[in-house]
Chains A and B, each alone.
Chain A
Amino acid sequence: MDIIESRTWIEWVITIAKFAFCFVPVLYILLLIPMERRGAGFMQDRQGPNRSYIKIPYFGKIRLLGYVQNFCDGTKLFFKEMFAPAGVNKFLYYVAPAIPFAIVFLSPCVIPWFGPMVFDWGGKAVRISGSIIDSEVGVLLLFGLSSLSAYGAVLAGWASKSKYSFLGALRTSSMTVSYEVCLGLSMMGILLLAGSFNLTDIVSWQEHHVWGIVAQPVAFFCFLIACIAETGRAPFDVAEGEPELVAGYHTEYGAMQFGLFYMGEYSHICINSFLVATLFLGGYSVPFITTETMQAHMGGSLAILCGVLAFLVLAFLHMIYRYSRKLKATNLTHRFEVLREYSLYKICAWVAVAVLIALGVCSWFFYNPENFVVNGFAVGSFATAVGTALIHLLVLVVKSVMFCWVWIWVRWTLPRFRYDHVMHLGWKIILNIALINLVVTAVVAKLVGGN
């Protein structure tokens, strides 16, 4: 697993720049929290938090569709007093919340963010893998790291000298252990088909055959359930079941220490959704189009991407205009203030539409880098490689956001399982289905004559 193979400076730059992907889960927190809160609101026919605002000249109170609320809450958590109850183990108590949060920065290192960038640089073919570490044991490393976050919960429960925390920690550890087994086994089918632990290989197998969700629908289902259970969110949040255990392992925590647990949980969702997208939804691969086709028509692909984005912005604009019209007809006393606020969004969105369309047209006509063939491989120019990586990244993000939504959706729909039900589901149902699925896959793969 050489991180850096050749000596060109561009390769160094990109390899180092890839470390920025470590921050993706943290950025996802910024997306997930508003999504969860407003999504939960909508599902319960509420409006969700939408009152906090930033005041700017002319446009007045800017609420960013309720987004400002999260900054307020973050600031509140950050500036609250940190305290430890009497009799706790000080060192472990303070270290515990940092563990799940630190894992967050390590886990993304094996996820392939884009297909391997192969391009021609000064007559030399350069190949840069899409993950930070292109490891042969990619998936295993990811599982190892993500289950480490259970240590945070266990230590927190142990160190806080509270029976609620302790029980919560016990439940977390048992649940993580049992669902880790299901997770591993349900994923085995797709590994078997792809014949590799390397996530990049798995994705390229899916790109050239079918997506994992088509090849392994049962495994996908088991994997999704086990993933949701592993993050310890409803309906599997027995570890912090409010009716029995106050708040489980973080009962005794407040302020930013609680915030760290909270962010750790959200980042865990992010990582798991990336994992599901990578293993079963073709990762970075664009549906129905192979990377080669895309690279051959680089400008056109970018133009289509810009078109899709412009369409989304136009849909947003339509919503804003529609709602402004309805708002004008009401007799809310603050309606003109809100309309003033919306005019800012309208301006921004129209500018975005114009820019996107301009970019699309430009790339259609002017961004047509030529491709070379070196040693039998199609090797494009640097520009092609960057364009491909960009599209791949966006596709992966869209897929993972879709799965993040599944997490939120499930949480606000299903009631919590009882603890023994969770164990029953894990060990007696999902594990067995995953095992049968694995055996069937192996037999079929052997008969059909795969690898």
Chain B
Amino acid sequence: MRVIKQRPMNWIERLYIFEAIRGLWTTLKHAARGLFRYETLPTISYPEGQPEIRNTYRAKHRLMLRPDGTPRCVACGMCAAACPAHCIFIEATQSDDPRIEKRVMRFDIDHLTCVFCGLCVEACPVDALRMDTKVISFEHRTREEFVSHLFDLTNWDPKDYPNDPQSQVAPGGTKNAEALKVWGMEVK
């Protein structure tokens, strides 16, 4: 157990009045700052000014893409199993690529139910699911629109993720041509 011993107040502090004046001085400084240096206030006037969001922030999901544009997801269902809110719905089907067993036919994430815990991202064995889109506001008119479908999740632009090599592999990215060559090679 740690005992924190507080310094006993000296008699000037116990008189209260001088400490009160010190407090008044502090608030006066803050008030003057608000009045004369309004723009230094930390408030972001929200809809007009957007907060700066890191890519580690758990925002809306996206599905990573292979060089040929198909989702990296192999429909293993790990994310759906890990999801504590049970808001991922996956239907698998036969993959067209002979090297790959399954692909997703339906991949829905209900963002009304999602708690943005990020467990699905952790669970994915092939790094197919990420939450780094920086989309933090979800505005729709009906409940159905809050459910993101496969098209919505894969419809992102590699130019928005310039520093992420994995995203550049997708069609339209800087490393796509290179990656496509490797992807098209015969596997022995």
Contacts and interface: CB of A to CB of B under 8 A. Distances in A.
A332 B34 contact: no
A333 interface: yes
Interface stretch (B19-27, B94-102, B151-159): B19-27
A47 B27 contact: no
Contacts of B39: 323, 326-327, 330
Interface residues of B, number: 21
Contacts, number: 60
A414 B39 CA distance: 26
B112 interface: no
A372 to B, nearest CB: 47
B45 A47 contact: yes
Interface string B16-36: 000010011011101101111
A108 to B, nearest CB: 28
A45 B26 CA distance: 12
A332 B23 CA distance: 34
Max count, chain B CB within 10 A of own CB: residue among A43, A44, A331:
A43
B31 A332 contact: no
B35 A42 contact: yes
Interface string A39-75: 1011111111000000000000000000000000000
B183 interface: no
Interface string B36-51: 1011011101011100
A39 B31 contact: yes
Contacts of B49: 330-333
22 contacts: A39-B31, A41-B34, A42-B31, A43-B27, A43-B34, A45-B30, A45-B33, A46-B43, A47-B34, A47-B43, A47-B45, A48-B34, A323-B39, A326-B39, A327-B39, A330-B39, A333-B49, A335-B48, A409-B24, A412-B27, A413-B23, A413-B27
Given A42-B31, A43-B34, A414-B20, 11 more contacts: A43-B30, A43-B31, A46-B41, A323-B38, A327-B39, A331-B49, A332-B45, A333-B47, A334-B48, A413-B20, A413-B23
Interface of B: 20, 23-24, 26-28, 30-31, 33-36, 38-39, 41-43, 45, 47-49
